[in-house]
Structure 1
Amino acid sequence: MTILNERGEADFDLYPYRPSGTAGYAFVVLFGLGGFVHLCMLIPLRAWFFIPFVMGCAGVSYKIYYHHTKVTFTDILQGEAAGYYGRAWSHSNIRNGSPYLLQLMLILASAPLLAASIYMTLGRLIRALDATDHAFLSPRWTTKIYVTIDIGSFVTQLMGTAMQANGGADGVKQGTTIVIAGLGVQLGAFAIFILSVIIFHRRLVLEPTEMSIMHKTWNRYMWMLYTVSGLIVVRSIFRLAEFLEGNDGKLYKTEAFLYVFDASLMFAVVVFMAVLHPGLLLRATRKREMGIPLL
């Protein structure tokens, strides 16, 4: 696997501490298992919109090269599990550039992949509950707008971390600015998304549809959306504060903050989305429409 060209050893420490190998490997296992569980649920539930979610947990492979002002994507392992593998790998050598870059890019850029499936969930719930009239935006535009913003945030954060790793002092400064912009866009999108969920939820409570009356569990899926969205917002605020504070800040210099306000929160998102998988409600509504009795 080639990551931003082959990275050798730096002549200085890449971390202000020695990353915990135990914590890194623990989250490799947790996100790997989470991705496997979601993959196993994706197929029988026909929840194909969870493919980005699985990618964000466990990963896919492609490449990315940075050349001055041009970024070319060609083969890199993507996903939270791969990012924390990079941190575990770094434990043995904090000057090795390859694992440092692996964790820098993937932990930061995996969140938009998880968010993409969360965005698409709302549109599918609106259609499944036959509640298009209650939506802030039509389900079609809800998915298109939020996923487009999410893709932009994903690419921006990848580009920013690539520039930080390859562009010298100027590249680090410019790359940090780009990452901050990507995180800001992600936060703004989630704020509007949560507002959309609130508006839809309130309208459907006040004017239930026949399908929502039949499937009384729909309400718990709305609260699931609030929960996972809130977790990602808190995580994004932490990462934004970390980048704004800079490498001399306490957030960057204290490894525990990363595991408390990023790793743990993102894994909680994976767990909530598995326990209250929207595919369960979507499958139930499909069966109802086809006249299949619910067990």
Structure 2
Amino acid sequence: MVYTHIVTRGTADFDLYPYNPSATAGWIFVALFGICAALHLFYMIKLRAWFFIPFVLGCIGELFGYYGRAWSHDNIRDGTPYLIQMMLILGSAPLLAASIYMTLGRYIRALDAEHHAIIRTRWLTKIYVAIDVISFVCQIMGSAAQASGDSDGMQKGIHLVLGGLAFQLVAFVRLNNSPSEISARFSVNWKKYMWALYCVSVLVFIRSLYRFVEFAAGAGTIMVTGEECLYVFDASLLFLVAVCLALVHPGNLIKSVGVKQAERLTGDAESYIPLNGRES
């Protein structure tokens, strides 16, 4: 007797995916983002880098987003895991990106390099968090209407992200050519941290570009009819962002500069007290 495997269906009257999501791929990224979330939580507490809370939450969101995709395997008409994976995968990326903008602002202040910046650090995070929120809304709208998407909004988002990359590059080049007193005095390898920040920014930009092309192209393209592109240009890139910032954690630079300043002013490294995490 031949047994036919019947794919479990939910309550929807139509398939929510044009394919059956891979449970294996989903669980792999559940594990990877789970490790990243635990690692960044450890570093955040150890270094008292409270400004990295959004990044930890972003890793946790990615974890549960890919749990939703693993759950969707053989349940492609079940709306619950579909909504979980869509909202969390799209919603977690802005949290990761916002942490990058916050980190840049803190680098600039820690190195006393605000005179090199083309945007005041007090506005930097506010501006780019707003950009991320707008981008997130556009992506949700595109997901809700996959046949068309909101290509105009996404294209503006890409231009704004490019502007953010240009801002970081200008700040880095100006600081490199004309070091601030702090960056020149202290033996801190700040260039390593700035290059790491720029690399993860490029990864986030590529991921944003992929999302723009996905929504602009509409239904029927390989980016919609298969999930390979999602794992290559979204999951993998954001995982690399998490790995890179774990290997070169921003909290190490900020703490190193703070400790050296405390030693110079008081002669006691233990007198260093980190900022409370508020972006000013």
Q: Give matches, 1:68-87, under 5 Å.
A: 79-87=61-69
Which residue does 2:125 correspond to in 1?
Answer: 143
**Corresponding letter in the other structure for 1:33:** I
Q: Give matches, 1:180-219, under 5 Å.
A: 180=151, 183-213=154-184, 214-219=186-191
- Secondary structure, aligned partner of 2:118: coil
Residues 1:248 and 2:250 aligned together: no
Which residue does 1:265 correspond to in 2?
Answer: 237
Which residue does 2:111 correspond to in 1?
Answer: 129
Match of 1:120 among 95, 102, 119: 102
Q: Distance in 2 between matches of 1:245 and 1:265?
A: 21
Q: Give matches, 1:1-295, under 5 Å.
A: 9-58=11-60, 79-158=61-140, 161=143, 164=144, 176-177=149-150, 180=151, 183-213=154-184, 214-291=186-263, 292=268
Query: What does the per-residue CA deviation read over 1:236-273, in whole Å, with 9 as the maximum and x for residues that have no partner?
Result: 11111111122211111121111111110110001011
Query: What does the per-residue CA deviation read over 1:79-110, in whole Å, with 9 as the maximum and x for residues that have no partner?
Result: 11111111100112111111112112221221
Q: Distance in 2 between matches of 1:118 and 1:38?
A: 14
Larger radius of gyration: 2
Question: 1:109, 1:157 within 8 Å by CA — same for their partners in 2?
Answer: no
> Please, what TM-score do these two structures have when normalized by structure 2?
0.85
Structure with bigger RCO (C-alpha 8 Å, 6+ apart): 2
Instruction: Return the offset for 1:144.
Output: 2.2
Gaps of 5+ in 2: 1-9, 271-280
- Secondary structure, aligned partner of 2:25: helix
> Please, what TM-score do these two structures have when normalized by structure 1?
0.81
Instruction: Return the offset for 1:137.
Output: 1.4
Q: Distance in 2 between matches of 1:144 and 1:243?
A: 26
**Is the deviation greater in 183-192 or in 195-204?**
183-192
- The alpha-carbon distance between structure 1 residues 17 and 172, as it changes in their structure 2 partners (threshold 3 A), is closer
Query: What does the per-residue CA deviation read over 1:150-192, in whole Å, with 9 as the maximum and x for residues that have no partner?
Result: 233334544664xx2xxxxxx6668x32xx4554344233211
Q: Distance in 1 between matches of 2:217 and 2:141?
A: 20
Which residue does 1:69 correspond to in 2?
Answer: none
Give identity over the alignment, percent. 52
**Is the deviation greater in 237-246 or in 20-29?**
237-246
- The alpha-carbon distance between structure 1 residues 275 and 181, as it changes in their structure 2 partners (threshold 3 A), is farther
**Corresponding letter in the other structure for 1:259:** Y
- The alpha-carbon distance between structure 1 residues 83 and 181, as it changes in their structure 2 partners (threshold 3 A), is farther
- Secondary structure, aligned partner of 1:29: helix
Query: What does the per-residue CA deviation read over 1:195-230, in whole Å, with 9 as the maximum and x for residues that have no partner?
Result: 111111111111112221214411011111221111
- Secondary structure, aligned partner of 1:95: coil
Q: Distance in 1 between matches of 2:134 and 2:187?
A: 35
Question: 2:44, 2:52 within 8 Å by CA — same for their partners in 1?
Answer: yes
- The alpha-carbon distance between structure 1 residues 55 and 184, as it changes in their structure 2 partners (threshold 3 A), is farther
Query: What does the per-residue CA deviation read over 1:102-151, in whole Å, with 9 as the maximum and x for residues that have no partner?
Result: 11222122111100000011110001001111111121122222223223
Q: Distance in 2 between matches of 1:266 and 1:181?
A: 24
- Equivalent residue pairs, number: 257
- Secondary structure, aligned partner of 1:227: helix
- Secondary structure, aligned partner of 1:38: helix
Which residue does 2:276 correspond to in 1?
Answer: none
